[in-house]
Amino acid sequence: MDKKIKLDPIDKKILAILQQNGKITNAQLSKEVGLSPAPTLERVKKLETKGVINSYHAKLDPNKVGVGVNTFVEVTLRGHNKDTIKKFIDAISNIDEIVECHHVTGSADFILKVVAKDIPSYQKLMLEVVSDIDVVDNLESMIVLSTFKDSKSLPINT
C-alpha cells in the first residue's frame, strides 16, 4: 500500500485548484495560492514526482463522442483464486469500453463501468466478449438512466 504523503495547506489548495482546472497556467495558479510562480511550479513538480498527481485529463461529453450508453456490471467469477482473478483482469484490460474495474466485497467479485455507443453495441460486447471470458460465471447489468453527479475530484481538506 502506498504511503500517505504529508500535504500542507498550500499543497492542498494547489490540488483542489488543479482538479477543477488542469489547464490553469502556473502564473494564475500562483496568484490563487499566494506564492510567486517559481515556488508554485516547484510544488506542482514535487506533487507529480511523489505520485500525488498521476496525470492530467480532458473530461469529454459522452454523447458528443458517441458513447450514449453507460452501465455498471456486477461480475461474479467461477473461482476466487489468484490465477482466476489475474485471468479476468488480463482479459478486460484490453477492452476499451470497460473504463473502470473495481474488485469489491459482497455478492459480486468485480464492478465494471462500461460505456458503449448504443444498446445493441453494449449487448454485443457483453454476449460476444465479456461473457466469453472463461472465468466469468455471472454478469448483472445496470443501465444508467440519468447522471446527477459525475465528479472525478477527490475531496481535499483545504
Does residue 44 lie in a domain region? yes
User: What are φ and ψ of residue 113, in 5° steps?
Assistant: -105, 120
Residue 120 and residue 75 share a domain? yes
Does residue 154 lie in a domain region? no
Q: 108 lies in which domain range?
A: 63-143
Whole-number Å distance between alpha carbons of 85 and 104? 12
Residue 105 and residue 43 share a domain? no
Does residue 130 sit in helix, strand or coil? helix
Number of structural domains (the chain) is: 2
User: What are φ and ψ of residue 121, in 5° steps?
Assistant: -65, -40
pTM here is 0.84
pLDDT per position in the chain (158 positions), as tens?
Answer: 567 888 999 999 999 999 999 999 999 999 999 999 999 999 999 999 999 999 998 888 888 999 999 999 999 999 889 999 999 999 999 999 999 999 999 999 999 999 999 999 999 999 999 999 999 999 999 999 999 998 888 898 75
Residue 42 and residue 73 share a domain? no
Contact 99, 115 (CB under 8 A): yes
Cell numbers linked to 124: 454485443
Indicate which CATH number applies to the domain containing 126: 3.30.70.920
Work out the number of other CB atoms within 10 angstroms of the CB of residue 115.
21
